[in-house]
Chains A and B, each alone.
Chain A
Amino acid sequence: MTVDPLIELRGVNKHYGTLHVLQGIDLTVGRGEVVVVIGPSGSGKSTLCRAMNRLESIESGEIRIDGRPLPEEGKDLARLRAEVGMVFQSFNLFAHKTVLANVSLAQIKVRGRKREEADRRSRELLDRVGLAAHAEKYPAQLSGGQQQRVAIARALAMDPKALLFDEPTSALDPEMINEVLDVMRQLARDGMTMVVVTHEMGFARSAAHRVVFMADGRILEDRAPEEFFTAPRSERAKDFLSKILSH
Chain B
Amino acid sequence: MDVLTENFSLYGEGFLGTLELTLYASALALVLGFVMAAFRVAPVGSFRVFGTVWVTILRNTPLTLLFFAVMLGLPRFGLVLPFELFAVLALGCYTSAFICEALRSGINTVPVGQGEAARSLGMSFTQSLGAVVLPQAFRSVIPPIGSTLIALAKNSAIAGAFSVTELLGTYKTLSELGYNIIWTFVWIAVGYLIITLSISAVFNVMEKRWGVAR
**Which A residues form the contact surface with B (CB < 8 A)?**
53, 55, 73, 75, 78-86, 88, 90, 92-96, 105-106, 109-110, 151, 154-155, 158
Chain B min CB distance to A246 (Å): 34
Determine if B57 is an interface residue (Cβ-Cβ < 8 Å). no
Known A-B contacts A73-B43, A95-B136, A105-B131; the reply to A82 vs B113 at CB < 8 A is no
Query: By the criterion of a CB under 8 Å from any partner CB, how many residues of chain B are at the interface?
Result: 19
Q: Determine the chain A residues whose CB is within 8 A of the CB of B123 once the complex forms.
A: 78, 106, 109-110
Known A-B contacts A94-B132, A109-B131; the reply to A78 vs B124 at CB < 8 A is yes
3 closest Cβ pairs, A-B complex = A82-B122, A106-B121, A92-B117
Q: Determine the chain A residues whose CB is within 8 A of the CB of B122 once the complex forms.
A: 78-83, 106, 110, 158
Cα distance, A92 to B116, chains bound together (Å): 8
Give the nearest-CB partner of B117 in chain A.
Answer: A92
Cα distance, A19 to B206, chains bound together (Å): 47
Give the nearest-CB partner of A154 in chain B.
Answer: B121
Check if A81 sits within 8 Å of B113, measured CB to CB.
no
Q: Determine the chain A residues whose CB is within 8 A of the CB of B120 once the complex forms.
A: 53, 55, 81, 84-86, 88, 155
Determine if B114 is an interface residue (Cβ-Cβ < 8 Å). yes
Q: Determine the chain A residues whose CB is within 8 A of the CB of B116 once the complex forms.
A: 55, 86, 88, 92
Contact code string B127-162 (vs A, CB < 8 Å = 1, else 0): 100011001100100000000000000000000000
Chain B min CB distance to A108 (Å): 9
Cα distance, A84 to B136, chains bound together (Å): 26
Check if B117 sits within 8 Å of A110, measured CB to CB.
no
Cα distance, A90 to B116, chains bound together (Å): 11
Cα distance, A156 to B212, chains bound together (Å): 30
Check if A81 sits within 8 Å of B114, measured CB to CB.
no
Give the nearest-CB partner of A82 in chain B.
Answer: B122
Check if B113 sits within 8 Å of A75, measured CB to CB.
no
Q: Determine the chain A residues whose CB is within 8 A of the CB of B132 once the complex forms.
A: 94, 105
Cα distance, A86 to B86, chains bound together (Å): 50
Cα distance, A81 to B121, chains bound together (Å): 6
Chain B min CB distance to A171 (Å): 11
Check if A92 sits within 8 Å of B121, measured CB to CB.
no
Cα distance, A53 to B131, chains bound together (Å): 21
Cα distance, A82 to B120, chains bound together (Å): 7
Contact of A94 among B43, B114, B127 (CB under 8 A): B114
Give the nearest-CB partner of B213 in chain A.
Answer: A140
Q: Determine the chain B residues whose CB is within 8 A of the CB of A88 once the complex forms.
A: 113, 116-117, 120
Chain A min CB distance to B26 (Å): 25
Give the nearest-CB partner of B119 in chain A.
Answer: A81
Q: Determine the chain A residues whose CB is within 8 A of the CB of B136 once the complex forms.
A: 94-96
Check if B119 sits within 8 Å of A94, measured CB to CB.
no
Q: Determine the chain B residues whose CB is within 8 A of the CB of A158 once the complex forms.
A: 121-122
Check if B121 sits within 8 Å of A96, measured CB to CB.
no
Q: Determine the chain A residues whose CB is within 8 A of the CB of B121 once the complex forms.
A: 81-82, 85, 105-106, 110, 154-155, 158
Give the nearest-CB partner of A79 in chain B.
Answer: B122
Check if B127 sits within 8 Å of A55, measured CB to CB.
no
Known A-B contacts A73-B43, A78-B124, A96-B136; the reply to A55 vs B119 at CB < 8 A is yes
- Please indicate which of the listed interface residues B43, B113, B117, B124 has the most CB atoms of chain A within 10 Å of its own CB: B117
Cα distance, A110 to B118, chains bound together (Å): 10
Chain A min CB distance to B137 (Å): 10
Cα distance, A155 to B116, chains bound together (Å): 13
Listed A/B pairs (5) with beta-carbon separation below 8 Å = A81-B120, A83-B122, A88-B120, A90-B113, A155-B121
Q: Determine the chain A residues whose CB is within 8 A of the CB of B135 once the complex forms.
A: 96
Cα distance, A210 to B102, chains bound together (Å): 49
Cα distance, A158 to B118, chains bound together (Å): 12
Cα distance, A83 to B122, chains bound together (Å): 8
Q: Determine the chain A residues whose CB is within 8 A of the CB of B124 once the complex forms.
A: 75, 78
Q: Determine the chain B residues whose CB is within 8 A of the CB of A86 once the complex forms.
A: 116-117, 120
